[in-house]
Structures are given as structure tokens and as C-alpha cells.
């Protein structure tokens, strides 16, 4: 009769644990990174005894909880880390390359269209070289192009600063993840596999790995008790309960460099958010260099053209612009009478007519500006396509993982009813055993 008490009690304990697991699943149905829990049971070992007459007797032992299982697929987890890494890189590049495109500003207030307007004013002035108002308008258009160079340089500098700020934020996330993984590794080595606490630690580990991989292209391997070891290139970042820290610095041109916090250069990140930021920083730095080259060419070409002309007073044209970079280009002449519209042979509009030949055409600032805008637009279009592909692949990876680790509330509700009935049945066994004992005692 004691067997019934043992069996009934073991059943209620086991199914109570099963109901707790189901309840945990339902409660965490919307918790990011949570993997479904389940309870596996096993038959308790039966007790045996040998009678004096050598007749074997066995007593049923009931059931017991074998382990708390966590629904996870290492392959799907690895795939989601990989797709998240690619998406992080594409998203970072798309954001900042879009901002760079806005900074380059090919609208009516940008360098390209203002330069075209300047040449149109040259043509208008050539038709009436003595018109003072047209001279003022022409000088103003030159000033506006110089100011557009200044503004574009400032806007690109702002983009570089924004990239550096986000890179430092990404570094903070990386270091927090590395530290968290070291602490989790320490806890995993102390925890008992197959317990609820162990499953929670694995959830935390995978969440930290996902955050880390989304930011940096690290290599992940697993050791004793599912502890994670993180390497980057040939550098170990996490081993056991020890974690390294990393740092990023931005140069004056906006380019980024990566190193250990304690010193020691690291390879340039190839993927993840940080990799995307490094790539975007390099692209924007190249655009800034190209802009400075165009500004220097614009200053030199315009000054050379003006120097070959003559003013109404017969003097050679003075420099129209100063500065060697986009940020320092400045218009120098505001006096309309100082504009050298004449050619050396005294023709009133001779130098203005020559402007199209000297300042426009193959290799001109105007043409090089168009090439710069076209190059950036092509890169941005390819980045958008890459981002769309990365988003689609990541969504597929997340869906595949959710099909294994996610929570289906309908299934959990059905399981809850099944386990509730089993729990009630086990409790009924205890009730029957008690009533039987009571009946026997009443007879006695």
C-alpha cells in the first residue's frame, strides 16, 4: 500500500514541475531570446527485496524529473548570429551612406546646380558685359558656389562625427557583451545541467552572443558546460571567466581604428555594425578628400581663367577665390568693376566667352562633381539592395529559430490541460490510497 503513496506523490511532484514549465513558457511567450522549456521524466528505480523463500518481490517507484529541457538548435542559433551580423553591417552602411548623400546635396542649393547657375550667369553677362547688375549677380553666384563647398564640407564632417559616436556606442555594447559572457561562463561551470537555472543561463548566453555578433564578426566556440569562447582573428576576447575589452578611435579624417583597450592593434572589423561603421567612415573620408580636391581645382581653375582676362581699367584679373580645401574656399572680390570680363585684345566679353572652353568640359570641376555624385549613388543603391537581402535572410533565420525555440500558445494550452489531468489523476491515486488505509484501520 505504501507503493501507492510513493507513486502518487512522485506523480504530483513531476507534473507540478511540468505545469511550472508550461506556465513559464506562457509567461515568456513575448520575451526576446527565450527558448521553450519542457520537462522530461523517467521511471524511478524500483526497490527490490528477497524473501526467506527466495521469492522476488518488486515495489514500483513511480516517476521522477530527469531534466528541464531547453528547445534550441545550435545550427539555427549560429545561422541567426551570422545573418544578424550581415544585417548589422548593411544597416549601418545604409544609414550613414544615405546621410552622406544628403550632405553631398545635389539639389538646387548644392554645388553642382549652383555651379551650373554660375556658368549661366557668365553667359548672360557675356551678352551684356557692361550691365552692373549682371556683374553683381555673377560675383554673387561665385560666392554661393564657394559657400556650398563650405557647407558640404561641414555636413560631411558632421556625418563623420556621427559615425564615430555610433562606433563608440557599438564598442560599449561589445564590451558589455564580452563581460556578460565571462560572468555567464563562470555561472555555467557552477550550475547543474538540466535545471531551470541552467536553461536561464543558456538563454542569457545566447542573447549576449547575438548582441555581440550583431556588432562584430567574432568566432564563437563552446567548451565545458556550454561555456562560450570568443576569438577575433588571432585574439581571444573571452575565455572562461576572463574577458578582454576593445576600443575604437577616430582620426582627423574620420577614419576609425580598432584596438584592445589595453593596447595592441586589431584587424579592421569586416562585418557587424562596427564593420559597417568602419566601411562607412572610410567611404565618407574618401568623399571628403574628393571634395577637397574639387575645391582646390575650382579655386585654381577660376583664378587662372580670371587672371587671363582684363578689367575695364585694363588690369589683369585678380584672384577670385582663396583656400585649398572645401572648408576654406572663400570668395575674394565683391566689386563689380574688378571683374575681368575683357580679353587681352580688348574685346569687352572676350574672357567671359572663353569661360566655357577653360572651365567646362572634360576633366572640369563640373564634370568631376557629376562623377562623384554618380559614384556615391551607385554605391548607395548596391548597399540598399544588400540591406534588403540581409533583412530577408535574417527574417528567415529568426523564423526558423522560432519554429524550434518559440512559444505556440495553442500548443501550450493543450499541454497544460493534458498535464493538469495527469496531475489530477496522480492526486486521485493518493486519495484512493488514503481511503483504502482508512478503511483498513476502521476494520481493525
Question: What's the pLDDT score for residue 100?
Answer: 98
Three-class secondary structure of residue 256 per DSSP: strand
* pLDDT tens per residue across span 366-409: 999 999 999 999 999 999 999 999 999 999 999 999 999 999 99
* pLDDT tens per residue across span 243-272: 999 999 999 999 999 999 988 899 999 999
pLDDT for 53 beyond 60: no
d(C-alpha 244, C-alpha 427), whole Å: 54
| Residue 328: all three cell numbers together | 576654406
Question: What's the pLDDT score for residue 437?
Answer: 85
d(C-alpha 137, C-alpha 123), whole Å: 12
Q: Is residue 401 part of a domain?
A: no
User: In which band, very low, low, confident or very high, does the pLDDT at 112 lie, cut at 50, 70 and 90?
Assistant: very high
User: In which band, very low, low, confident or very high, does the pLDDT at 3 lie, cut at 50, 70 and 90?
Assistant: confident
Question: What's the pLDDT score for residue 5?
Answer: 85
Q: 3-state DSSP: the chain helix, strand, coil percent, rounded to 5?
A: 65, 15, 25
d(C-alpha 178, C-alpha 181), whole Å: 5
Residue 24, phi then psi, degrees to nearest 5: -65, -40
pLDDT for 37 beyond 60: yes
Q: Are residues 234 and 381 in the same domain?
A: yes
Q: Are residues 375 and 428 in the same domain?
A: no
Answer for the pair 260, 226: CB distance below 8 angstroms, yes or no.
no
CA 240 to each of CA 181, 196, 230, 271: distance values in angstroms, whole numbers, following the listed order: 9, 22, 10, 25
DSSP 338: G
Single pTM value for the model: 0.90
Q: Is residue 161 part of a domain?
A: yes
Q: Are residues 205 and 284 in the same domain?
A: yes
Q: Are residues 280 and 317 in the same domain?
A: yes
Q: Is residue 183 part of a domain?
A: yes
Containing H/E element for 443? Answer: helix 409-443
Three-class secondary structure of residue 232 per DSSP: strand
CA nearest neighbour of 232 among 164, 171, 166: 171
Question: What's the pLDDT score for residue 61?
Answer: 79
Burial of 30 (0-12, 13-18, 19+ CB in 10 A): exposed
How many domains are contained in the chain?
2
User: In which band, very low, low, confident or very high, does the pLDDT at 154 lie, cut at 50, 70 and 90?
Assistant: very high
Residue 218, phi then psi, degrees to nearest 5: -90, 165
Mean pLDDT for 151-176 is: 98
Q: Are residues 346 and 292 in the same domain?
A: yes
| Residue 10: all three cell numbers together | 512522485
pLDDT over 70 for what percent of the chain? 96
d(C-alpha 110, C-alpha 252), whole Å: 25
Q: Are residues 15 and 97 in the same domain?
A: no
CA nearest neighbour of 228 among 37, 398, 85, 78: 78
Mean pLDDT for 417-423 is: 94
Q: Is residue 400 part of a domain?
A: no
User: In which band, very low, low, confident or very high, does the pLDDT at 443 lie, cut at 50, 70 and 90?
Assistant: confident
| Residue 19: all three cell numbers together | 505545469
* pLDDT tens per residue across span 181-219: 999 999 999 999 999 999 999 999 999 999 999 999 999
Question: What's the pLDDT score for residue 51?
Answer: 52
Q: Are residues 152 and 62 in the same domain?
A: no
Containing H/E element for 249? Answer: strand 246-250
Q: Is residue 235 part of a domain?
A: yes
Q: Are residues 346 and 431 in the same domain?
A: no
Answer for the pair 223, 229: CB distance below 8 angstroms, yes or no.
yes
* Average pLDDT across the chain, whole number: 93
Answer for the pair 236, 230: CB distance below 8 angstroms, yes or no.
yes
pLDDT for 57 beyond 70: no
Three-class secondary structure of residue 129 per DSSP: coil
Question: What's the pLDDT score for residue 169?
Answer: 97
Answer for the pair 1, 436: CB distance below 8 angstroms, yes or no.
yes
Q: Are residues 226 and 338 in the same domain?
A: yes
Q: Is residue 55 part of a domain?
A: yes
Q: Are residues 245 and 322 in the same domain?
A: yes
d(C-alpha 186, C-alpha 176), whole Å: 16
Question: What's the pLDDT score for residue 441?
Answer: 82
Burial of 126 (0-12, 13-18, 19+ CB in 10 A): buried
Look at 50-64, 102-116, 270-284, 333-347 and tell me which has the smallest mean pLDDT: 50-64
Domain boundaries, position 84: 78-395
Three-class secondary structure of residue 192 per DSSP: coil
Q: Are residues 110 and 256 in the same domain?
A: yes
Residue 419, phi then psi, degrees to nearest 5: -70, -35
Q: Is residue 269 part of a domain?
A: yes
d(C-alpha 153, C-alpha 284), whole Å: 11
Q: Are residues 107 and 253 in the same domain?
A: yes
Amino acid at each position: 500500500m505504501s507503493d501507492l503513496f510513493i507513486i502518487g506523490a512522485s506523480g504530483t511532484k513531476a507534473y507540478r514541475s511540468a505545469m511550472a514549465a508550461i506556465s513559464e513558457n506562457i509567461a515568456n511567450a513575448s520575451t526576446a531570446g527565450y527558448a521553450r522549456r519542457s520537462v522530461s521524466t523517467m521511471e524511478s528505480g524500483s526497490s527490490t527485496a528477497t524473501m526467506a523463500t527466495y521469492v522476488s518481490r518488486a515495489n514500483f517507484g513511480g516517476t521522477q524529473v530527469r531534466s528541464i529541457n531547453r528547445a534550441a538548435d545550435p545550427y539555427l542559433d549560429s545561422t541567426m548570429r551570422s545573418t544578424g551580423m550581415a544585417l548589422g553591417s548593411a544597416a549601418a552602411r545604409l544609414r550613414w551612406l544615405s546621410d552622406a548623400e544628403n550632405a553631398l546635396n545635389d539639389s538646387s542649393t548644392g554645388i553642382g546646380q549652383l555651379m551650373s547657375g554660375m556658368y549661366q550667369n557668365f553667359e548672360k553677362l557675356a551678352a551684356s558685359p557692361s550691365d552692373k547688375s549682371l556683374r553683381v549677380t555673377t560675383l554673387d553666384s561665385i560666392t554661393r558656389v564657394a559657400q556650398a563647398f563650405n557647407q558640404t564640407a561641414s555636413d560631411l564632417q558632421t556625418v563623420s562625427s556621427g559615425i564615430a559616436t555610433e562606433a563608440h556606442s557599438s564598442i560599449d555594447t561589445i564590451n558589455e557583451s564580452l563581460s556578460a559572457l565571462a560572468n555567464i561562463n563562470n555561472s555555467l561551470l557552477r550550475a547543474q545541467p538540466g535545471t531551470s537555472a541552467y536553461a536561464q543561463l543558456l538563454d542569457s548566453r545566447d542573447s549576449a552572443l547575438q548582441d555581440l555578433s550583431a556588432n562584430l564578426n567574432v568566432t564563437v566556440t563552446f567548451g565545458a558546460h556550454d561555456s562560450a569562447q570568443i576569438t577575433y582573428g588571432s585574439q581571444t576576447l573571452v575565455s572562461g571567466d576572463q574577458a578582454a575589452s576593445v576600443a575604437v578611435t577616430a582620426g582627423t579624417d574620420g577614419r576609425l581604428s580598432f584596438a584592445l583597450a589595453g593596447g595592441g592593434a586589431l584587424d579592421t572589423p569586416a562585418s557587424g555594425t562596427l564593420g559597417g561603421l568602419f566601411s562607412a567612415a572610410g567611404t565618407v573620408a574618401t568623399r571628403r578628400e574628393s571634395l577637397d580636391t574639387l575645391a582646390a581645382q575650382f579655386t585654381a581653375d577660376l583664378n587662372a581663367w580670371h587672371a587671363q582676362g582684363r578689367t575695364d581699367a585694363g588690369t589683369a584679373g585678380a584672384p577670385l577665390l582663396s583656400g585649398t580645401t572645401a572648408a576654406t574656399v572663400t570668395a575674394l572680390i565683391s566689386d563689380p568693376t574688378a571683374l575681368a570680363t575683357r580679353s587681352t585684345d580688348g574685346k569687352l566679353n572676350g574672357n567671359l566667352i572663353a569661360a566655357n572652353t577653360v572651365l567646362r568640359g572634360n576633366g572640369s570641376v563640373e564634370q568631376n562633381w557629376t562623377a562623384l555624385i554618380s559614384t556615391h549613388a551607385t554605391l548607395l543603391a548596391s548597399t540598399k539592395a544588400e540591406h534588403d537581402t540581409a533583412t530577408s535572410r535574417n527574417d528567415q533565420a529568426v523564423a526558423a529559430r522560432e519554429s524550434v525555440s518559440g512559444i505556440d500558445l495553442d500548443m501550450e494550452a493543450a499541454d497544460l490541460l493534458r498535464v493538469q489531468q495527469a496531475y489530477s489523476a496522480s492526486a486521485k491515486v493518493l486519495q484512493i490510497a488514503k481511503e483504502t488505509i482508512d478503511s483498513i484501520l476502521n476494520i481493525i
